[in-house]
Structure 1
Amino acid sequence: MSTCATASRQLTEPLAGTAAPARTWLLIEQPGPWGANALTSSHLDPAVGRALDEATKGTGVRIALIRRPGRHADCHEPALQRIFLAHTAPGRSWIRTTALADPAALLELDLAALGAGEHGGLWEPYAGDPLALVCTNGKRDRCCALLGRPLAAELAAAGGTEVWEVTHLGGHRFAPTLVVLPYGYAYGRATAHAVKEALEAARDGRITTAHCRGRSAWERPAQAAELAVRALTGEEGADALDVTGTEGAAPRWSVTVAHTDGRAWRVEVEQGAAAPPRPESCGRALGTPARMDVVAISPLAARAAGVSRPS
């Protein structure tokens, strides 16, 4: 059976610059079945789901439901639902967590502040393993179920990591997809081996670029630019690089990527169209999704005295 993921893989569609932008993630544990629009089609009160969806718009906060890997027949609601907040900006990444009896309490959050990375001591700091969120919502796209659920189950069975299924990460055709928090790097066409390597690296404050779609803290051109600098320099430190400026508009941007050691690069990114046409999601008409192509990288003058430019 042909699927959107099969077509994308066979056409070698690039992964860089395809992550869903989200400076901050708000994750609500919600067991049981999920519909295509899980915030209003699950055991979560649909009125609460709609209100939270509306409240997060324009704040930089992306909201999603999560559940533990396994079978998801109709079930009783847990007394308390685990909640995670994760901010993904370089040098300021964090995860806070709590358990709530009623997710409606989340409507009282200052979402604009949380989107800007200001938690104000909210809840408890999360000090466990990096969170691995694997997209598995088959009602959204069958590839997420067919490819995501086995991956989530294998990672959970292996132990030693914090694995959750998640409702939607975007980019069904790159399934199985996942995002690793707190750093917010998203991955596509993931294998269990590659994910384990990515999680081990995240524990050490590093990132792996194999199968990487980009860091969710940034928009798509900046994601592609940062990954291109990593490829150029071999830099693995999760917080070593930051995007300090983006100029221009579609179809061309000039992105400045800076290193904590003072080096910086100007990266030229062009928006192209993936050809030939392919389905962006199973069952949908063929299309030519946008792709982010890095066309030039040039070093800039060192930003700090005493820091030499690379040879």
Structure 2
Amino acid sequence: MTDTERFFCADAARTRHDPLAGTAPYGTVWILIEYRQGWPVNGFAGLDLDSHTKALVMEAAQQAQARILLIRRPGRRDSGDDNRWAVLCHGKGGTLLQRWGIWRRDADLTQIIPALEAPGTSDLRPVILVCAHGLHDTCCAVRGLPTGRMLSSLWPDLVWECSHVGGDRFAANIVVVPDGVYYGGLDARTAITVIEEHMADRIRADHLRGYTTLSPPQQAAVIAVLRQFGPAGRNDYTIGETVRHDRGWHIKVTGRPPHLSELSVEVLPRRTSPRQLTCRGPADSSAVRYEVTSIRTPSPSIDE
């Protein structure tokens, strides 16, 4: 690359065919804070807010193992309405909870703290977050902004731009919460298909980075099953026994009808050679990719 050429990590990842499977960070609780002005590189931590309020919210988020994301509506930023905040939780048994509020003063954000203890109602539609944090990584703006605008034209009440979600090289990145589903490698056209399918509870392997309730090898196992046997609902496959062995993992995946009831999946980790992974990365880094080497149905017993 010459001095005049600019490096874009998402372009490089697509050229290398970097795999998406197993790249969704673990998480079951999200704090969303609407902030319509520019986002600092480190998101909420860098905002010019009352330091005491900010410390309380960050401490509560850490104790709840919640991720704080800044949000704003795509397009023109109207400053006339109150800012919103939300706590979203993917609870036990797949219960999806949301609690929303408004804030006018910095101190109003302390409402988030009790909301983490009682995260609200389960009758709300999912929230579609499109990473557009350009100050954190250029590709998130270049690819995320047009994707967010397109989706917002179809689902204006559900779509928000958000701050850094991880995996910049997979921009445009979309996270559906509190479902806990990461998608990547998208553009305005493919994002429409992905979200249409998601809203119909038909999750496909294409563009799927993983479910945030699973570990990376478990994510890779489920994605491989979806790729081989076709799309399925968010909760149609569950993870059973996961055994770590000297080379990788043996993972049992259980399906609900009409899907196969039980599958055994072998997953091996592979570390890539060092390469530049983000637009602003100061040095080359390696990444772990999760290779599924086999998917088997259990052998029938002798008595069958």
Equivalent pairs counted in the alignment come to 289
TM-score of the superposed pair, with normalisation by structure 2: 0.84
Does the 8 A contact of 1:67 with 1:166 survive in 2?
yes
CA change 1:286–1:100 in 2 (3 A) is: same
Does the 8 A contact of 1:35 with 1:41 survive in 2?
yes
Aligned to 1:15: 20
1:66-77 to 2 correspondences below 5 Å:
66-71=71-76
CA separation in 1, counterparts of 2:123 and 2:46?
A: 29
Aligned to 2:39: 34
**Greater Cα offset, 264-273 or 219-228:** 264-273
- Find the partner of 1:269 among 264, 267, 270: 267
- Find the partner of 1:140 among 136, 139, 160: 136
Does the 8 A contact of 2:24 with 2:212 survive in 1?
yes
Aligned to 1:282: 279
Q: Secondary structure at the match of 1:20?
A: coil
Does the 8 A contact of 1:88 with 1:216 survive in 2?
no
Q: CA deviation at 1:22?
A: 1.1
Does the 8 A contact of 2:35 with 2:72 survive in 1?
yes
Q: Which runs of 5+ in 1 are unaligned?
A: 112-118, 303-307
**Greater Cα offset, 173-182 or 12-21:** 173-182
Q: Secondary structure at the match of 1:266?
A: strand
Q: Secondary structure at the match of 2:134?
A: coil
1:35-50 to 2 correspondences below 5 Å:
35-42=40-47, 44-50=49-55
Q: CA deviation at 1:109?
A: 4.1
Does the 8 A contact of 2:250 with 2:267 survive in 1?
yes
Letter in 2 for 1:295: T
Aligned to 1:53: 58
Letter in 2 for 1:34: W
Q: Secondary structure at the match of 1:286?
A: coil
Letter in 1 for 2:262: A
1:165-176 to 2 correspondences below 5 Å:
165-176=161-172
- Find the partner of 2:67 among 62, 65, 69: 62
Aligned to 1:243: 239
CA separation in 1, counterparts of 2:252 and 2:52?
A: 42
Does the 8 A contact of 1:39 with 1:46 survive in 2?
no
Aligned to 1:87: 90
Does the 8 A contact of 1:97 with 1:126 survive in 2?
no
**Greater Cα offset, 290-299 or 243-252:** 243-252
Aligned to 2:114: 108
CA change 1:98–1:160 in 2 (3 A) is: closer
Q: Secondary structure at the match of 1:279?
A: coil
CA change 1:92–1:123 in 2 (3 A) is: same
Does the 8 A contact of 2:130 with 2:148 survive in 1?
yes
Does the 8 A contact of 1:40 with 1:46 survive in 2?
no
Q: Deviations over 1:28-48 (max 9, x none)?
A: 222211111111223554543
Q: Which runs of 5+ in 2 are unaligned?
A: 1-5
TM-score of the superposed pair, with normalisation by structure 1: 0.82
Aligned to 1:123: 120
CA change 1:9–1:46 in 2 (3 A) is: farther
Does the 8 A contact of 2:143 with 2:187 survive in 1?
no
Aligned to 1:206: 202
Does the 8 A contact of 1:263 with 1:301 survive in 2?
no
Q: Secondary structure at the match of 1:206?
A: coil
- Find the partner of 1:4 among 4, 9, 12: 9
Structure number with higher helix proportion: 2
Q: Secondary structure at the match of 1:15?
A: coil
CA change 1:52–1:160 in 2 (3 A) is: closer
